[in-house]
Amino acid sequence: MSDRILFGRRAALAILSTAAAGAWTGARAAAPDLPQLRIGFQKGSLNLALLKSLGLLEKQLPATQVRWVEFPAGPQLLEALAVGSVDFGATGDSPPVFAQSAGKDLFYVGAEPPKPDSSAILVKPDAPLKTLADLKGKRVAAQKGSSAHFLLVQAVKKAGLQWSDIQPVYLPPADARAAFERGAVDAWAIWDPYYAAAEIDGNVRVLATSRGLTGNNTFYLASRGLAQREPALRALFAALTETDAYVQANRKDTAQRFAEFAGLGLATVHRFLERRQPSPVAPLTPALIAEQQKVADAFVQLGLIPKPIRVADIVWQPGQSLALAR
């Protein structure tokens, strides 16, 4: 199916019926004066990847030059956001915590619903590890400061172990998979679609998913400059929510588009999509802010970030004027 796909009246009505779309009513009333918008994304960012493929944002913001920049994981994306290389992006729960603790100037502006089945701790099929407690003394690969890092923290806690009982090996996803496959690490904490790709290849066993351990939340973050331009955020979230409605209604075309974007096989993409619930985008709720604060507190308690932080200090809400000091 070509990029000239038009969203029909039925899809538009479905979108308007969602809470997220309601939160951003009027997003298209006036196109924001935004000459350039640089969006950071990664392979797990399905809504952003499909938004890019469908060209919907460019249709909504015809006077804006939209540039898309891919990153291997959230920490790298947020570093680029903090230094002004991109304006907007999506990550899991942990990268914003590490960024805030390092004094990075960025803001939470939106979120998707939890996806607790979309990340896991993997071991080899014949590995002697049968329970989380068996991680004691083992080498476990994870991207430092990623959602998989927090998953590993929670898994260690649930097993009744201390963080010092395991040997974390901090590697980006591609390097972590290589280390896992050659036996340089005993387990691997990872998220979709890397998780799905490893499953489809058939040489892994799931020790635990994030269900019951973390919400595996997806957050959208913006630079200070973009967070001060609410019309632009409204346009972005309306487009992302519309894209998600398209994903839910057009799984076959979504799978094909995402496979081409990510360089993944269709079987991997379908596995990824099976685990993905509807994911409209909306501002952060108090409950979600409280959940994210628990992520931050866990990293502080383990000494993995240098000081306590207050997540709410960098959460933007509609109608808010950013008078926060840098």
Q: Are strands 88-91 and 205-209 parallel, antiparallel or unpaired?
A: unpaired
Q: Report pLDDT digits (tens) over 150-203.
A: 999 999 999 999 999 999 999 999 999 999 999 999 999 999 999 999 999 888
Tokens of 263: 């360089």
> Residue 26: its pLDDT value, please?
41
> Residue 22: its pLDDT value, please?
42
Q: Report pLDDT digits (tens) over 66-87.
A: 999 999 889 999 999 999 999 9
Q: Is the pLDDT of residue 293 over 90?
A: yes
> Residue 44: its pLDDT value, please?
82
> Residue 99: its pLDDT value, please?
95
> Residue 261: its pLDDT value, please?
86
> Residue 219: its pLDDT value, please?
96
> Residue 322: its pLDDT value, please?
59
> Residue 326: its pLDDT value, please?
41
> Residue 14: its pLDDT value, please?
35
> Residue 68: its pLDDT value, please?
94
Q: What's the average model confidence in pLDDT over 298-316?
A: 95
Model confidence at 289, pLDDT cuts 50, 70, 90, reads very high
Residue with token string 């099976």:
274
- pTM of the model as a whole: 0.85
Q: Is the pLDDT of residue 111 over 80?
A: yes
Model confidence at 32, pLDDT cuts 50, 70, 90, reads low
Per-residue HEC secondary structure of the chain comes to: CCCCCCCCHHHHHHHHCCHHHHHCCCCCCCCCCCCEEEEEECCCCHHHHHHHHHCHHHHHCCCCEEEEEECCCHHHHHHHHHCCCCCEEEECCHHHHHHHHCCCCEEEEEECCCCCCCEEEEECCCCCCCCHHHHCCCEEEECCCCHHHHHHHHHHHHCCCCHHHCEEEECCHHHHHHHHHCCCCCEEEEECCHHHHHHHHCCCEEEEECCCCCCCCCEEEEEHHHHCCHHHHHHHHHHHHHHHHHHHHCHHHHHHHHHHHHCCCHHHHHHHHHCCCCCCCECCCHHHHHHHHHHHHHHHHCCCCCCCCCHHHHECCCCCCCCCCC
> Residue 169: its pLDDT value, please?
98
Minimum mean pLDDT range among 24-38, 117-131, 285-299: 24-38
Q: Is the pLDDT of residue 23 over 70?
A: no
Q: Report pLDDT digits (tens) over 227-267.
A: 999 988 988 999 999 999 999 999 999 999 999 988 899 99
Domains in the chain (CATH in brackets) are 9-114+217-314 (3.40.190.10), 119-209 (3.40.190.10)
